[in-house]
Structure 1
Amino acid sequence: MKKWWFTYLILFHFTLVNAQTYRKNEINIEKLIEELFAMQQDEDDYENMYEGLLQLFLNPIHLNKTNPEELKSIYILNPYQINSFFEYKKAFGDLISIYELQAIPGFDLETIYKIIPFVTLDDRSESSNRPLWERITKERDAYFIFRQNRVLETRRGFTPPDTLSNGRLTSRYMGDPNNLYARFRIQHSKDFSLGFTIDKDPGEQFIWDPNTKRYGFNFLSYHFTLYNQNRWKTITVGDFQAQFGQGLVYGAGFSVGKGAETITTVRRSSIGLRPYTGAMEFGFFRGVGATYKHGGLEASLLLSHAPRDGNVQAILDTLDQEELIISSLQLSGLHRTPTEIAYKDQVRERNLGGNIQYTHRNKQLQLGTNTLFTSYSQTFQRNPQVYNQFEFSGQQNYIQSLYFSYNLQNYYLFGETARSKSGGYGSVLGMMSSLGRYIDFSLLWRKFDRNFHTFYGNAFSENTRPINERGIYMGLNFRPNTRYNWSIYYDQFKFPWIKFRTYAPSQGHEWLTRFSYRPSKTTLLFIQFREESKARNVSETRPFQSTYQLSQGKKWNYVINLDYKINENWSLKSRVMGSRFDFDSQITKGFAISQDLNADYQKWRISTRFVLFETDDYDNRQYIYERNVLWAFSIPALQGQGMRYYTLAQYRLNPKLTIWARFSRTIYTDRESIGSGLQTIEGNRQTEAIFQLRYQFNR
């Protein structure tokens, strides 16, 4: 009885001190991006990150049935908060309301707002007693999304071809400039999920041609997944991904790395098998997968046979017989020209993998092992270069790993070691800790050999892939109260072997610090500084120099950002950001100034932004995350001199139907054409229009 009265008092207090309403079915994507991806970069795989974020959102964590591993997977709660959560449950029992979290030491309203989209107390377990077909047809979480967007200016690829001197015509795109996307999904968290995603990129034909493996939409992804079928934790058919350990073998989940959140993002969580519903045409398995659970032991098995785009060439072997080899895999997913169409589905990739994981009954210890065997339909033989001689070659690869995770009060230890067929090793060892109620610390060491080969790994690293790297990372976060927060990290790394654009062993470092000040619930100010030091070839800027002569390039970035909520409906966001790049005794600079104005009237919303930018070169390009239609992202690289603006509108016609429209334009003042090759636009402006609708069934 005391527990109920205690909860009612908390809810009453929450109502009094907080005038704003929070809609459970939404995520403040912009705020989450600002914290997790402190400096956006074009090499980051945002589409896959968004896909992972969507899976977390659609499968919320049940707070009364969760464990520390699940809570870590959302990258929001620090070790002190997680430990306090379970200590509270041990003392008072299950939670009655989500806002009861306010009674737990370390949980403030800001933290609660962050985790609300990813957690639930709604059991709805009675639905599992109904037949599966009835559960599917009556599920409220069912929707269809259709999106169309295009660049309004004409790119060179869509113009009539030119005639060359030999009489041949120049290459052009085969299709129209529209980008078409559709997603259908019905799912119930921890019960079932089914759906498909179809996509046609700009320049691709909408055509049915079995000879070139094109069937209307250029890409189709599909899945059907069941959860918690007696001892079968997961059974999935179609397209799926996997994440176990620290991402050395299976690393397809929502993984972040270095950002303004300096503590929780260094660690990966073992979330297991999950359906794939994205539009990227690589990085997923296609086949069947299953996880069987008995007590604290889980065993997973996956079988995959998927097509891959690749450049397959014929060469002569030692007996002068023709042999087909893979010279490269194509990851763009684009099939616009005859050459790109010829690459489509030329390679077949087969995967056989497994995982065995043990979790102690007190949930503090987790041990596991991963195995993945991959084979290609042809032998992989790269065009030999000095920097890629230790990259994967051959027709088969296998990789195994051992991993662990151990919780000791406010200290979380984790690690994984893997070995690939080549004999190369990859290792990650780290710790997250709350040194006190107000200060957190993280430490991570990693080492990836130059011949370590993992095709589905996504471990914490400076490179885009875990290969040819050694490093140590340290992060610190200090929050004396709800108004102030200071975070900082320092990362020291080495590349023992040469890399692309760096033809000698090199080293570097990176640090970032952010100071945030929230004087009231309506105002947030943060200042952020970052320095990155990396070496690369001098010959790129000075002709006739030695290819192996390096110079250390240093880049400084700064951001000053102010968010202000005028009232319940209107808000402002102002930002000044800039950079300075010092390489081979030459200094270049760049900056961008942006102003946002947003309106939110529940049924309809409008977001606007205006940006002025100027950069000396490509190294100083400026990235600013932009609001977009639901489950789409936009992080343009602003380079040169000019301005950019956009307007995004959303209107909910009725409980079933919501529409979005977005208009954006970039105007350059330092050029008469934009882009290169077939992407060239004659003129100094580029305009994009997007239209999207979502229809929700059973609403």
Structure 2
Amino acid sequence: MKKCCSLIFLFFLSSNVLIGQTYRKGEINIEMLVEDLFGMQRDDQDYEDLYENILQLFLNPINLNRTSPEELKSIFILSPSQINSFFEYQSDVGKLISLYELQSIPHFDLETIYKILPFVVLDASGKKQGPLLDRIANSKDAYFIMRQNRIWETRRGFTTPDTLNNGRLTSRYMGDPNNLYARFRIQHSKDFSLGFTLDKDPGEQFIWDPETRRYGFNFFSYHFTLYNQGKWKAITIGDYQMQTGQGLVFGAGFAVGKGGETITTIRRSTVGIRPYTAALEFGFFRGAAASYQAGPLQITLMASNAPRDGNLSLRLDTLEREEAFISSLQSSGLHRTPTEIGYRRQVKEQNAGANLHFQSRSKNLQIGSNSLFTRFSQPFERRPQVYNQFEFSGQENHIHSLYFAYNFQNYFFFGESAISKSGGKGNVFGMMSSLHPKLSLSLLWRSFDRDFHSFYGNAFSEGSRPINERGIYLGLNFKPNRKYNWSFYYDQFSFPWLKFRTYAPSQGYEWLSRITYSPSRKTLLFAQIREEFKARNISEYPVFQSPYLLDQGKKWNYVFNLDYGLNPNWSIKSRVMGSSFHFNNKVTRGFAISQDINADFQKWRFSGRLALFDTDDFDNRQFLYERNVLWLFSIPALNGQGLRYYLLSQYRVNPKLSFWARFSRTQFTDRDIIGTGLQQIQGNRITETVFQLRYQFNR
């Protein structure tokens, strides 16, 4: 009775706050999520895969009445003290009967609640209603998406080929400039998921050609996954990913690194098997996997036999027979020219692996182990370079690891140690803590040997892969009240061996500081500064010098951002950002200014932006996140001088059918040719349109 009265009071107390907001329950403020998680965008970060994994979290919300600390950490929103408060509240009061009840949990403010609402649900029973086929046929989370986009200026690859002196024609793209994408999915959180994804990139042929294994769309991905079938926690066939431990062995999934969120993002969560639904043509398993719960122990076995794009070369063996070997793997997924088509599915990659995961009855302790065996259809031998002599070579690799996670009051400790077939080792150890309700701290140390080989690793690192790196990270977050927030991190790292474009051992550091002021839900103001200090080769030589001569490059980034809600329907966003790059006794600079306007009228939405940019060189390119059609990610790198603008509209015809249309253009004032090679455009502008429809079944 006491709990019911409290809930009635909370409902009336919060109704004036919750009702009248432009926020719609079940939707993600993706712009703020990107701002918090990514901080400063980078070229070596695969944002499409990250974005796809945000979708996975959104479509598989966490049941707050049947969750664990590990699962709550996986959404990178709640601090250690908030997670502890949540479970202490459940222990004292029992299961939640309303999401409004979150407001009565200590350390849960409205801002936090708004952030987690799209990722959580309440389901007291957890029982499945009806047979599986009926649940599939009647699922409300069933949809079909079809998308078309293209660049309207003619790239060189689509022009008539030239004739060379030997009479041969120059290479050109074999398909049309349209990008076609389709996705079908039926799923219900923690019950089942099935679907497929189709994709054709610009320049690829829409053709039925069994000889080159092309059947209409260039890429086809599919999956069928069942959850919680008795003691079987997950069973999947088709395309999937795995994320366990700290990502040294199985690291596919939603894992970010350094950004505006400086505490929660350093840790990886063990979420196990996940369906793969992206259009990227690498980084996933194809086969079957299953997880079985045996008391406190969960056992996961997986097997995969996936085709990969690769360049096969021939050589004579000791008996003067031709022998094929892999000289490089291709990860672009593009098959536009005869050469690219020749790379298609030339390599077979077989994987077999296992994960053992123990969780104590109190859910405070987790211990696990990972093993993954990989075999290629031919030996892998890279073109020898001075910096890559410790990279993987051969036909087989195996990697094994042990990991742990331990919660003690407001302290979360975690770590993983791994060793690959080469004997190279990888280690990650860290800690997160709420030192005070207003102050949080994170620490992480990592060490990856120069011959540590992990094909599916995605551990926290400065580089794009966990190899040849040492580092220590410190993160702080101070929130004195609901209006102000200060985030800071400092990361010191070194590379004991040579790297691409860095032909000597090197070291560096990076730090970021962000101050946020939000006096109300309709106003958000933040200022951010970042410094990165890292070495690389000097490529321009005034006189003869050693090609291994390095210089330390120092880059500064500045961002000033204002989001303001004019009224429940209209909002604006203003941003000023700039950078400077100091390298080889030379200083270059760049900046961008953007103005957004957004409108939301329930059935109809509109967004627009005008951005001006001016950069001295490629090192000062400016990254600006843009709104796009549903589940399409866009962070263009603005380089040179000019302006960019876009218009985006969405119309919801009825609960089942929605349409999107987008027009964007970049107009340069410092060039008459854009791009190089077959991507070259004669002119000073590039224009893109996107059209998308979504049909939701059973709505």
Whether TM-score is above 0.5 comes out as: yes
Q: What CA distance in whole angstroms lies between the structure 1 residues aligned with 2:124 and 2:301? A: 28
Instruction: Output one character per residue of 1:351-394: Cα deviation in whole Å (capped at 9) or x when no partner.
Output: 00000000000000000000000000000000000000000000
- Partners of 1:180 and 1:673 lie apart in 2 by 27
Q: CA RMSD in A?
A: 0.9
What SS does structure 1 have at the residue aligned with 2:430?
strand
Structure 2 counterpart of 1:410: 410
Deviations 1:254-275 (A, max 9, x none): 0001001000000000000011
Hey, what does 1:15 align to over in structure 2?
15
Q: Which runs of 4+ in 1 moved over 4 A?
A: 540-543
The answer to whether structure 1 residue 28 and structure 2 residue 29 are counterparts is yes
Partner of 1:671: 671
How much has 1:213 moved relative to structure 2?
1.1
Equivalent position SS for 1:334? coil
Aligned to 1:96: 97
**2-structure distance, mates of 1:578, 1:541:** 28
Whole-angstrom distance in 2 between the partners of 1:693 and 1:543: 59
- Alignment match, 2:87: 86
* Compared CA separation, residues 123 and 168, structure 1 to 2 (3 A): farther
Distance of aligned partners of 1:400 and 1:595 in 2 relative to their CA distance in 1, 3 Å threshold: same
Q: CA deviation at 1:433?
A: 0.2
Alignment map for 1:325-404 (pairs within 5 Å): 325-404=325-404
Deviation at 1:544, TM superposition (A): 3.4
> Per-residue displacement from partner, 1:86-135 (whole Å, max 9, x unpaired)?
11111111111112111111111110110001000035744x24111111
Distance 1:92 1:123 in 2: 14
Counterpart contact for 1:150–1:179, Cα < 8 Å: yes
**Distance between the aligned counterparts of 1:123 and 1:434, measured in 2?**
30
Question: Counterpart of 2:156?
Answer: 156
Matched residue, 1:430: 430
- The Cα shift of 1:685 comes to 0.3
Indicate if the aligned counterparts of 2:22 and 2:569 stay in contact, CA closer than 8 A. Answer: no
Matches within 5 A, 1:170-319: 170-319=170-319
8 A Cα contact 2:65 2:123, kept in partner? no
How far off its partner does 1:319 sit? 2.6
Question: What is the TM-score when the length of structure 1 is the normalising length?
Answer: 0.99
Stretch moving more, 18-27 or 81-90: 18-27
> Does the CA-based 8 Å contact 2:475-2:489 persist in structure 1?
yes
Looking at structure 2, the residues matched to 184 and 269 of structure 1 have their Cα atoms a distance apart, in angstroms, of 28
Q: Are 1:559 and 1:575, in contact at CA under 8 Å, matched by a contact in 2?
A: yes
Aligned equivalents of 2:22 and 2:42: distance in 1?
34
Seen in structure 2, the aligned counterparts of structure 1 residues 661 and 543 have a Cα distance that, compared at 3 Å, is: farther
What displacement does 1:50 show?
1.1
1:535 offset after TM fit, Å?
0.3
Partners of 2:499 and 2:368 lie apart in 1 by 32
Tell me which moved more, 574-583 or 116-125: 116-125
Where does residue 470 of structure 1 map in the other structure? 470
Code of the aligned partner of 2:596 = D
CA distance in 2 between partners of 1:11 and 1:97 (Å): 10
* Alignment gaps of 5+ in structure 2: none
Q: Where does residue 68 of structure 2 map in the other structure?
A: 67
* Counterparts in 2 of 1:543 and 1:634: CA distance versus 1, 3 Å: farther
Letter in 2 for 1:99: Y
Q: Does 1:169 align with 2:169?
A: yes
2:484 maps to: 484
Q: CA deviation at 1:541?
A: 6.0
Amino acid at match of 1:45: D
| Aligned partner letter, 2:79 | N
Q: Matched residue of 1:251: which SS?
A: coil
How far the C-alpha of 1:25 sits from its partner, in A, is 2.8
1:559 match: secondary structure: strand
Alpha carbons of structure 1 residues 123 and 217: separation in structure 2 relative to 1, 3 Å = farther
Task: Provide the residue aligned with 2:447 in structure 1.
Answer: 447
Letter of the 1:653 counterpart: V
- 1:318 deviates by 2.6
Say if 1:625 and 1:635, in contact at 8 Å, map to a contact too.
Answer: yes
The Cα offsets for residues 379-436 of structure 1, whole Å up to 9 and x where unpaired, read as 0000000000000000000000000000001000000000000000000000000000
Deviation at 1:520, TM superposition (A): 2.2
CA–CA distance in structure 2, aligned partners of residues 259 and 227 of structure 1: 33
Residue ranges of structure 1 left out of the alignment (5+ in a row)? none
Name 2:619's counterpart in structure 1: 619
Q: CA separation in 2, counterparts of 1:17 and 1:206?
A: 52
Higher mean C-alpha deviation, range 160-169 or range 482-491: 160-169
Matched residue type, 2:267: R
Q: Counterpart of 2:539 in 1: which secondary structure?
A: helix
Q: Percent identity?
A: 70
DSSP-derived class of the 1:250 partner: coil
What is the TM-score normalised by the length of structure 2? 0.99
Q: 1:51 deviation in Å?
A: 1.5
Please name the residue that 1:322 is paired with.
322
Counterpart-to-counterpart distance in 2, 1:158 and 1:511: 44
Aligned equivalent of 2:146 = 146
What letter matches 2:506 in structure 1? S
Question: For 2:106 and 2:115, how far apart are their aligned partners in 1?
Answer: 16
Q: Aligned with 2:526: secondary structure? A: strand
2:586 and 2:121 map into 1 onto residues whose CA distance is: 54
Q: Secondary structure at the match of 2:436?
A: coil
CA apart distance, 1:54: 1.0
- Greater shift, 538-547 or 508-517, is seen at 538-547
Matching residue of 1:698:
698
Deviations 1:447-503 (A, max 9, x none): 000000000000000000000000000000000000000000000000000000000
CA deviation vs aligned residue, 1:144-201 (integer Å, no higher than 9, x gap)? 0000000011100000001111111110000000000000000001110000000000
The answer (yes or no) to whether the contact 1:99–1:112 under 8 Å persists in 2 is no
Deviates more, 1:293-302 or 1:331-340: 293-302
Structure 2 counterpart of 1:657? 657
The one-letter code sitting in structure 1 at the alignment partner of 2:550 is L
Task: Answer yes or no: is the 8 Å Cα contact 1:539–1:546 preserved in 2.
Answer: no
Matched to 2:682, the amino acid is E
